[in-house]
A and B are shown apart, each in its own frame.
Chain A
Amino acid sequence: DAGVIQSPRHEVTEMGQEVTLRCKPISGHDYLFWYRQTMMRGLELLIYFNNNVPIDDSGMPEDRFSAKMPNASFSTLKIQPSEPRDSAVYFCASSFWGYEQYFGPGTRLTVT
């Protein structure tokens, strides 16, 4: 298996633009997680899905953030409109169950 795949690897955008991050989990994994990592706040769980259903989105910072998982092999995290404070590395991870997760390489987002 190729592991968790994320795209794009780097994204630079201007404030106010829509940003869409994509994730393909490892085949057969029931859980999918989206995290955000910054120097100040560390690694934060934003939302996670079980069998394509969002279970806990309490970490999503505000309504500008949304995530979907239309099928078992694809998920998106969307920010609209983006702001400079959204600049961070966004990781997607998948697992059979919660505590043995496999992370993707991350998307480094810069909002200017």
Chain B
Amino acid sequence: LAKTTQPISMDSYEGQEVNITCSHNNIATNDYITWYQQFPSQGPRFIIQGYKTKVTNEVASLFIPADRKSSTLSLPRVSLSDTAVYYCLVGGNRDDKIIFGKGTRLHILP
């Protein structure tokens, strides 16, 4: 199971684009990269998942370079309501042990 490393915290301002990078140097061939968002007093919410290149949905974009050893979650034009903890997970085998880690605490300032 690939270990992930991401910044503990980040600050940004409303209207900015925020990029959170996750390192996963020992990612396996069949591993996917998945990001979750957790607001205070709520359970984590699935945001986006990808395998390679770029994935975009209505919430975020996920950029994955060719070597797949890192990934970047991009949140366009953030608002105060995007203040949350963001978790990067890597895995793909159905029997992988799922580890959320500490995540990145994103704080959006007015």
- Kindly list chain B residues whose C-beta atoms are within 8 Å of the C-beta of A33: 98
Residues 1-59 (chain B) with a chain A CB within 8 angstroms: 32, 34, 36, 38, 41-46, 49
Distance in Å from the Cβ of A36 to the closest Cβ of chain B?
A: 11
B44 touches which one: A58, A97, A103 (CB < 8 A)? Answer: A103
| B30 → chain A closest CB, angstroms | 11
Q: With A33-B98, A58-B97 given, is the CB distance from A99 to B34 under 8 Å?
A: yes
A105 contacts B43, C-beta separation under 8 Å: yes
| Closest-CB distance, A23 to chain B (whole angstroms) | 11
| A74 in the interface (beta carbon within 8 A) | no
Instruction: Tally chain B residues at the interface, Cβ within 8 Å.
Output: 25
Binding site for A on B (CB under 8 A): 32, 34, 36, 38, 41-46, 49, 87, 89, 91-92, 94-103
- Report chain B residues within 8 Å CB of A106: 41-43
0 or 1 for each of A29-72: is its CB under 8 Å from B? (1 = yes): 00001010000001101001010000110100000000000000
Tell me whether chain A's interface is mostly helix, strand or loop, or mixed.
strand
A98 engages B94 (CB within 8 Å): yes
A109 contacts the other chain (CB 8 A): no
A–B Cβ pairs within 8 angstroms, 27 of them: A43-B38, A43-B87, A43-B100, A45-B97, A45-B99, A45-B100, A48-B98, A50-B94, A56-B95, A56-B97, A91-B43, A91-B44, A93-B43, A98-B94, A98-B98, A99-B32, A99-B49, A99-B98, A100-B46, A100-B49, A101-B36, A101-B46, A103-B42, A103-B43, A103-B45, A105-B42, A106-B43
